[in-house]
Amino acid sequence: MTATAPARDTIAAIATAPGAGGVGIVRLSGANARAIAETMSGRALQPRHAHYVRFTDAAGETLDDGIALYFAAPASYTGEDVAELQAHGGPALLEELLARACALGARRARPGEFSERAFLEGRLDLAQAEAVADLIAAADARAARASRRALDGEFSRRVEALAGDLLAVRVHVEAAIDFADEPIDTLGGGALRQRLGAAATALDELLAAAERGRRLRDGLHAVIVGPPNAGKSSLLNALAGSERAIVTDIAGTTRDLLHETIKLDGVELTLVDTAGLRDGGDAIEREGMRRARGELDRADLAIVVLDARDPHGGLAAVADAIAPVPARLFVYNKIDLLESDYDSPGPADVGGEDRVFVSAHTGAGLDALHARLRALAQGDAGVAMEGAFTARARHVDALVRAGEELAEARAQLDHEMLDLAAEALRQAHDALGEITGRVRADDLLGHIFSSFCIGK
């Protein structure tokens, strides 16, 4: 239970989208949901039957004709008694129905409170509850299907299977500690290491899948970086298909961050144009460079724009700033100004550089750049998103922490420090439990469910 609301009072909300529509729904959940719905409809309601009814106010005046449905606990969305009142979808009418329900003892639900109750009643785990919000917010069919897979429990099952494997190993480790002098049957060190190695492989695969799911949900955060006058703003305009940034031949024109979002095969890519990195500059330009470095600290991808006429000189100016970024794509711009031929356009893994050759001015090479960005947005050098499930940044963070603790457990096991290995396994197990809500803090629930819409 959360500390933010009474445990089992009856809640009500308009469950359909704001605005007028053909049909609107007022949803109730709690111990008095059935009684309130029966009072408003004037008839007894049977579970899982659609009843054609007349909704009335306190004076018996007709509000509307519609459908009333009742779902008895625990076979309902929330796991509590649930009633749904379906009427014509006028906002004023639905507000009247909601006010009548509240006058009869319900209270207005908080955002996400129906899904929160479903979680607290064990109808959904936390990752599935979050998938409900993701399904509602899905911007395209691919994101909707991925959210549906998460709602169906595909992500949760993999997390819990991995957690079960870690718990099984931890049991053997702690048994070896507690009963070191007893003739009990525990796995030997070699078998434990083998099982932890398999768990580490499974965790790496799950982390990669979750990262793809996070990209599908949140998009890829890509920072356009490079020395001054390399054509960063021109490239942003070319990718955005509009004149979003001011372009001049004067170095240092861009001072502030400029954001633009594009879609590549259903994956959002947030492009951030930044100030050119160099030594010196006035106070405003130095502040722009500070912000650029700060943006790189949280970037998924650095699009490093270099003047094709002097790429190595430009790279020296940005090398330190891009070092922490997980992925880097080097864009050799201004190929239209080269006096001789350049390498074949398109991505090439040469000297550790993922490179694309373009001219933001003429458009040459932009198709190859789009293809490479599409592959990076999808993850794993273009692995398809089919079969993906949505995940959130907190899920990825929990998996990373679980991986770190698992690595620590393996290291301690190698040194036969069983007590430290057991503690690391406990921490890894708890990190996985945060994903599904098996291990949780009440403030986490409040943060998650407050982002839901009213009535869900």
Q: How far apart, in Å, are the Cα atoms of 266 and each of 101, 206, 368?
A: 41, 21, 18
Tokens coding 370: 């789009």
pLDDT of residue 382: 41
Higher pLDDT, 174 or 155: 155
27 annotated ligand binder: yes
| Confidence class for position 326, pLDDT limits 50, 70, 90 | confident
Which positions ≥6 away from 96 have C-beta within 8 Å? 57, 63
20 annotated ligand binder: no
**pTM for the predicted model, two decimal places:** 0.72
274 annotated ligand binder: yes
Which positions ≥6 away from 61 have C-beta within 8 Å? none
pLDDT of residue 174: 86
Burial of 23 (0-12, 13-18, 19+ CB in 10 A): exposed
H or E segment and range at residue 24: strand 21-29
Task: Express each pLDDT in 228-239 by its tens digit.
Answer: 888 888 888 888
437 annotated ligand binder: no
Res. 335: pLDDT tops 60:
yes
251 annotated ligand binder: yes
First-residue to last-residue Cα distance in the chain: 18
341 annotated ligand binder: no
Q: What is the Cα–Cα distance from 248 to 260, expressed in whole angstroms?
A: 19
456 annotated ligand binder: yes
Task: Express each pLDDT in 263-303 by its tens digit.
Answer: 776 677 888 887 666 555 555 555 666 677 777 777 888 89
Burial of 350 (0-12, 13-18, 19+ CB in 10 A): exposed
Q: What is the Cα–Cα distance from 54 to 67, expressed in whole angstroms?
A: 8
User: Do 82 and 33 meet the contact criterion of CB atoms below 8 Å apart?
Assistant: yes
Q: How far apart, in Å, are the Cα atoms of 93 and each of 23, 29, 109, 284, 432?
A: 11, 20, 18, 55, 45
Domain 141-216+392-437 has CATH 1.20.120.430: yes
**pLDDT over 90, % of the chain:** 46
110 annotated ligand binder: no
User: Do 127 and 395 meet the contact criterion of CB atoms below 8 Å apart?
Assistant: yes
Higher pLDDT, 198 or 312: 198
| Confidence class for position 221, pLDDT limits 50, 70, 90 | confident
233 annotated ligand binder: yes
Q: What is the Cα–Cα distance from 359 to 337, expressed in whole angstroms?
A: 9
Res. 356: pLDDT tops 70:
yes
* Residue 439, helix vs strand vs coil: coil
User: Do 256 and 291 meet the contact criterion of CB atoms below 8 Å apart?
Assistant: yes
Q: How many CB atoms lie within 10 A of CB 112?
A: 25
451 annotated ligand binder: no
pLDDT of residue 155: 95
Q: What is the mean pLDDT of residues 245-250?
A: 42
The chain-wide mean pLDDT, for the chain, equals 83
Longest Cα–Cα distance in the chain: 88
Max avg pLDDT among 130-139, 229-238, 320-329, 399-408? 399-408
Encoded amino acid at 443, one letter:
D
405 annotated ligand binder: no
pLDDT of residue 109: 95
Q: What is the mean pLDDT of residues 234-248?
A: 66
253 annotated ligand binder: yes
Res. 11: pLDDT tops 90:
yes
252 annotated ligand binder: yes
Higher pLDDT, 19 or 85: 85
250 annotated ligand binder: yes
Higher pLDDT, 432 or 274: 432
416 annotated ligand binder: no
Q: Beta strands 50-56 and 62-71: pairing type? A: antiparallel
Domain with CATH 1.20.120.430 in the chain: 141-216+392-437
Sign of the Cα torsion 434, 440, 446, 447 reads negative
Domain with CATH 3.30.1360.120 in the chain: 11-125
Query: By C-alpha distance, which of 271, 127, 123, 303 is closest to 213?
Result: 127
Q: What is the Cα–Cα distance from 288 to 349, expressed in whole angstroms?
A: 31
Residue with tokens 């899982």: 48
Q: What is the mean pLDDT of residues 385-391?
A: 75
pLDDT of residue 187: 54
User: Do 231 and 281 meet the contact criterion of CB atoms below 8 Å apart?
Assistant: no
pLDDT of residue 272: 84
Question: Lowest-confidence range among 13-17, 146-150, 347-351, 441-445?
Answer: 347-351
Domain 11-125, CATH: 3.30.1360.120
| Confidence class for position 443, pLDDT limits 50, 70, 90 | low
Task: Express each pLDDT in 161-194 by its tens digit.
Answer: 999 999 999 988 888 887 655 544 455 668 888 9
Q: What is the Cα–Cα distance from 42 to 54, expressed in whole angstroms?
A: 7
Q: What is the mean pLDDT of residues 35-41?
A: 97
Q: What is the Cα–Cα distance from 24 to 31, expressed in whole angstroms?
A: 23
Domain 219-378 class in CATH: alpha beta
254 annotated ligand binder: yes
